[in-house]
Copies of this chain bind each other. A is one copy, B any other.
Amino acid sequence: MFKDFTVAEAEFMAQFKKAHGRAWAGEVLISPDEPGTRLFTLYSGLAAKCRTLPSGQRQLLTVVLPGDLVGLQGLYTGKAWYSVEALTDVTFCVFEPGRWHELLAVPSLAKRVSWLQALEQRHTEERLAAIGAGDARHSVAHFVLDLYVRLRRRRLYRENSFALPLTQQQLADAVGLTTVHLHRTLRGLRHDQILSLENHRITILDLEALRKLAFVAEVIEEERPLL
């Protein structure tokens, strides 16, 4: 993952890094309540980025995968409006927020950051389109395919199957459905031999059909910079 860093970049990143973190499944890593600004990159494990509305409703914004940078918005706005919690046991690399401006002063790193942000932006907009313009099947299909593609980029999948450490409640929050209807949608997808979910493991039965359903033209995860 570091292989495309130059020596100077690697050197800077090494000293920018503050500590190595570790947390158990279920632990909250970032919360809108506590004002502390945290900035880190996930190393291993999965985390969920959620927005909780005053009504108690939750919307899962994204599943954070290894290599993703988390906490940047909080750094600029001073306060997070979302929460991040570990879905599995996780390890992560904590940065020093106070020295952020130093990092941006290194042009090649600044480019990486901006690039990363552009990719994240695109990702969120795709989700928005999937949820806003499609029905339940589309939304679920898009969620699964997106995760599959992102995991594949990181070589974290096994054939056409991958672990999805979410309860159906959390999954429902991600796609904007109730658990009941989500379950029925999944049953439908299973029945049509498109994908199945068992024991917190997704198996893609028909990738082509899934692609069509999810209308993700090509969820291209071309490059991914930064540690």
A residues neighboring B (CB under 8 Å): 51, 53-55, 57-59, 61, 72-73, 75-77, 81-82, 101, 104-105, 107, 110-111, 113-115, 117-122, 124-129, 131-134, 173, 175-176, 215, 217, 220, 222
A145: min CB distance to chain B, Å:
14
A119 to B73, CA, bound (A): 7
Given the contacts A101-B107, A110-B110, A215-B54, A129 and B61 also touching, CB distance less than 8 Å? yes
A129 to B101, CA, bound (A): 30
> Which of A82, A107, A124, A128 gathers the greatest number of chain B CB atoms within 10 Å?
A128
A208: min CB distance to chain B, Å:
14
Which B-chain residue is minimally distant from A78 (CB atoms)?
Answer: B222
Given B51, B75, B76, B113, which contacts A129 in the complex, CB threshold below 8 Å? B51
Which B-chain residue is minimally distant from A223 (CB atoms)?
Answer: B76
A210: min CB distance to chain B, Å:
14
Q: Are B82 and A215 in contact (CB under 8 A)?
A: no
Which B-chain residue is minimally distant from A119 (CB atoms)?
Answer: B76
A221: min CB distance to chain B, Å:
10
Given B121, B124, B133, B222, which contacts A59 in the complex, CB threshold below 8 Å? B133
